């Protein structure tokens, strides 16, 4: 996620340097961030729905293996959840 953010900023800076201020590059960067965020938002605990990327008040860039709220093992594939 941090790498994608850096890449998006780099893309905007590079395009701005060669083509002047471009809203297309900016839009593209935002789309990239949304695409990078999509699997992150979906990664919720199948039992309590807590997002696996949240550890208390902190947001981490890698998912928890065990849910911090209910202790559900997130590594185990859940047949009720369609991926
Ligand atoms: Zn849970």
pLDDT at 2: 67
Between residues 11 and 81, which one has the greater pLDDT? 11
Query: Angle formed by the axes of helices 2-19 and 23-42, to 10°?
Result: 170
Give me the pLDDT at residue 59, please.
66
SS3 61: coil
Say yes or no to pLDDT of 26 above 70.
yes
pLDDT at 66: 82
> How confident is the model at residue 23, as a pLDDT?
75
36 CA distance to ligand 1 middle (Å): 23
In this predicted structure, what is the pLDDT of residue 80?
57
Name which residue leads in pLDDT, 74 or 47.
47
* % residues pLDDT > 90 (the chain): 0
- Beta-carbon contacts of 13 under 8 Å, excluding residues fewer than 6 positions away, are none
- Ligand 1 centre to CA of 82 (Å) is 17
Residue among 83, 81, 71 nearest 46 (CA) = 81
CA 44–ligand 1 middle distance (angstroms): 8
Q: How does 1-16 read in b/e, with b if 16+ C-beta sit within 10 Å?
A: eeeeeeebeeebeebe
> What's the CA-to-centroid distance between 51 and ligand 1, angstroms?
8
């Amino acid at each position: 996620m941090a790498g994608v953010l850096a890449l998006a900023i780099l893309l905007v800076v590079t395009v701005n340097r060669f083509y002047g201020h471009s809203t297309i590059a900016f839009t593209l960067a935002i789309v990239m961030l949304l695409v990078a965020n999509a699997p992150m938002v979906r990664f919720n605990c199948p039992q309590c729905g807590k997002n696996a990327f949240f550890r208390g008040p902190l947001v981490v860039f890698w998912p928890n293996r065990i849910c911090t709220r209910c202790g559900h093992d997130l590594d185990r594939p859940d047949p009720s959840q369609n991926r």
